[in-house]
Amino acid sequence: MKRMLFLIIFVLSPFVGSEIFSQTLIWQPTNYSLTGNVNTVHIGPNGWLYAGSNSDGVFVSSDKGNSWIQKNNGLKNLQIFAFLNVKDTIFLGSLEGVYRSSDFGNSWEPSNNGLTDKYINTLAITKDRKLLCGTLYSGLFISTDFGRTWNQMQNDFKNKSVNCILTKSDGFVFVGTTSGLYRATQMFDFWGKVDADFKNNTNINTIALDSSGNIYAGTNNGKIFKSTNNGVNWTQVYESTNNSIYKIIVSPQNIIYAATYGKGVLRSKTGTDWEEVNDGLFNQLTTSIVALPTREFFVSTWGNGVFYGKEYEISTFVEGEFCTNNEIPVDYVVTMNFNPDNYFIAQLSDNNGKFTNHVEIGRIQSTTSGTIICKIPSNTPTGILYRIRVVSTSPAIFGADNRKNIRIYKNLSPVISGKASVCHNDVETYSGSTKPGVISVWTVTNGEVVNIDTTNNTITIQWNQVGTGKIKLFQTLQGGKCSDSTIISVTVNPRPEKPVIYRKGFVLYSSSKTGNKWFLFDKPIPGATADSLPVTEAGLYYVQVTNEFGCKSEMSDPFDFYYNSVESEQDEFKIIPNPANSTIKINLPENTVGISIFDLLGNQQITMPNLTGITSPITVDISSLPSGTYLVVVRTIAGNFYKKIIVSR
């Protein structure tokens, strides 16, 4: 099983100097082949891990919990409460007595001769190699022949439950019971009660000794007591109501740890000030704990098997969202001395939080806590599960990762799409690139913002100043830890002046020598792009100019050309009344084929296209026309004729 470590920072600031308590302790479940309720965990004489289940017997792991194997051969009861090493032999206590194994748990044989109470709570061995067995109902039993036979010890707690035993190198023995704490020498000639300072807290679950000779006792109602004078006097050093203290141990580094039922694991450097160290320990109903010299730990739980923990000398502090090529500060805290030639190196994991193929993103030569200025490499793929850790070179130590997933973007690299060359007073819409969680800010120079659409990240601009305009798109992640921008230049070209049409005979001329386009009424005249236009039919003519930038002028005023109109000689073409209001009567020339009425901009308003053979005069409804001047064009076989009419209301 490859471990995925979980970290909660146990200091409020990465720069608290000597106030930093200790290393970062991170927990994770061991292999899920061991689950459920586990009463005790133990390190065997071979360094293997042994777990005593509440219903499934003994589980053994030779790889620190990466795998577990049940080892119940010979056991009659699978409810295990205690283990004890005696050289290469392992003893265990169950609800069916004491068992021992001389083959590291592959097989178990009973060792119960003389045991009148087989409900075994705890096991211990004295300085002179006597075995002690604490039972649920009958106090303490002793064996002087390596567990072959047992005898009940006669004392004040012979009918009580013995929960824990501490044997000291000076020969003293402490026994914790449901009715108090007792002490005797290894001769067991006198047992004295040493719990006067405990008051009513006399249900003792666990007792431990540190390297300075201090003794710690944990009670069933959540209190820890400390004695500095071999149990004569006690001081309460911790209290958590109704959270039983099930196991206290002292690590090889002389740090005190306690497994509690409800508060998880406690840690103390002096035995006076305690902190909860439960990062990753999602089940805090803990029942037992053991420590290795390598600052590795195992804790049993009621409900989720056994957890593995490790303390780290280097803690890493960084969180948030970042872009490639951005500089980021990575804070780190150390809890030991480093050599003068040491470097602290920040490493980036892959997008699954694994450091197998880590990437160095920054380093600093230092011996103390500090900050490394790092840069996310430009080729880092976008992802949301990155982690960062700090390692050292002298000595070489791997630090804990930052414990929070980091989102990395493949650089924001904003992009603006839209025209880079426009005409004066054009209104254009530009779009910007979009990414989740990115905020866009638009800035425009030499243009007027008409609209910004934040949903689609677009901006609409009227370019009202000839010259060079600029659009800037600044993008930042929410929280502001990652930003980027881009600018595009927009050339705003001038428009040609509005052209003027003048006439010489039957030819129309534009005031512009180049870029002309001629129109008859509202239709472009094919091929009519010169500065002059010979006229072959009557009508309203317009011209528009396009310059070398592709910008079009305003359309010219209409030129009313009446070539081929013989109004004075065609007396039969008459319109009455003129001015008119709602209808007009038209006397048609011979061979009329159609009639159209245009406004002075050349827009056709009324058309009667099929009048061949119709009897003159005809009546035309003009009630839909607004007041103004209009051109009535009559198309005949001989040519087109027109007259102006005025609509007045």
pLDDT of residue 615: 85
Helices H / strands E in the chain, number of each: 0, 60
CA distances for 620 relative to 571, 581, 598, 633, angstroms: 19, 11, 14, 13
In this structure, are 215 and 299 located in the same domain?
Answer: yes
pLDDT of residue 571: 61
In this structure, are 308 and 209 located in the same domain?
Answer: yes
Q: Could you give the CA distance from residue 332 to residue 372 in angstroms, rounded to a whole number?
A: 8
The pairs formed by 233-242 with CB atoms below 8 angstroms and a separation of 24 or more are 233/197, 234/194, 234/195, 234/197, 234/198, 235/197, 236/197, 237/268, 237/271, 237/272, 237/274, 238/266, 238/268, 238/274
- Say how many domains are in the chain: 5
Residue 426 belongs to a domain: yes
Q: Which amino acid is at 325?
A: N
Percentage of the chain exceeding pLDDT 70? 94
Residue 92 belongs to a domain: no
The residue from 385, 409, 433 where one domain ends is: 409
- Is 444 a residue whose pLDDT tops 50? yes
In this structure, are 520 and 478 located in the same domain?
Answer: no
In this structure, are 401 and 436 located in the same domain?
Answer: no
In this structure, are 291 and 259 located in the same domain?
Answer: yes
Residue 231 belongs to a domain: yes
In this structure, are 510 and 584 located in the same domain?
Answer: no
Residue 167 belongs to a domain: no
| 643 vs 576: which has the higher pLDDT | 576
Residue 507 belongs to a domain: yes
In this structure, are 601 and 532 located in the same domain?
Answer: no
Compute the Cα dihedral for 443, 446, 451, 456 and give only its sign: negative
Q: Tokens 């779009």 appear where?
A: 431
For 579-599, what is the mean pLDDT?
89
pLDDT of residue 199: 87
Coil, helix or strand for 198?
helix
With 0-12 / 13-18 / 19 or more C-beta atoms within 10 angstroms meaning exposed / middle / buried, residue 624 is exposed
Residue 42 belongs to a domain: no
Q: Could you give the CA distance from residue 410 to residue 547 in angstroms, rounded to a whole number?
A: 44
In this structure, are 590 and 619 located in the same domain?
Answer: yes
Per the omega criterion (within 30 degrees of 0), is the bond before 579 cis? yes
Confidence of residue 570 (pLDDT cuts 50, 70, 90): low
- The dihedral formed by the CA atoms of 16, 17, 22 and 27, expressed in degrees to the nearest 10: 50
For 426-434, what is the mean pLDDT?
95
Q: Which amino acid is at 591?
A: N
In this structure, are 266 and 351 located in the same domain?
Answer: no
pLDDT of residue 642: 76
Say if residues 218 and 205 touch (Cβ distance below 8 Å). yes
- For residue 265, the domain's CATH number is 2.120.10.30
The residue from 409, 429, 457 where one domain ends is: 409
In this structure, are 222 and 319 located in the same domain?
Answer: no
For residue 629, give every residue at least 6 positions away whose Cβ sits within 8 Å of its Cβ, in sequence order, or none: 599, 600, 644, 645, 646, 647
For 256-266, what is the mean pLDDT?
97
- For residue 630, the domain's CATH number is 2.60.40.2470
In this structure, are 484 and 550 located in the same domain?
Answer: no
Cβ-based neighbour number of residue 322 at 10 Å: 23
Say if residues 337 and 395 touch (Cβ distance below 8 Å). no
In this structure, are 231 and 264 located in the same domain?
Answer: yes
Q: Could you give the CA distance from residue 225 to residue 64 in angstroms, rounded to a whole number?
A: 32
For residue 70, give every residue at least 6 positions away whose Cβ sits within 8 Å of its Cβ, in sequence order, or none: 56, 57, 58, 59, 60
Residue 157 belongs to a domain: no
Cβ-based neighbour number of residue 178 at 10 Å: 16
| 508 vs 15: which has the higher pLDDT | 508
The residue from 312, 347, 380 where one domain ends is: 312
- Share the mean pLDDT of the chain: 90
Q: What is the pLDDT of residues 198-226, one digit of tens each?
A: 988 889 999 999 999 999 999 999 999 99
Q: What is the pLDDT of residues 87-109, one digit of tens each?
A: 999 999 999 999 999 999 999 99
Residue 81 belongs to a domain: no
Say if residues 375 and 326 touch (Cβ distance below 8 Å). yes
- Is 546 a residue whose pLDDT tops 80? yes
- For residue 481, the domain's CATH number is 2.60.40.10
Domain that holds residue 630: 574-647
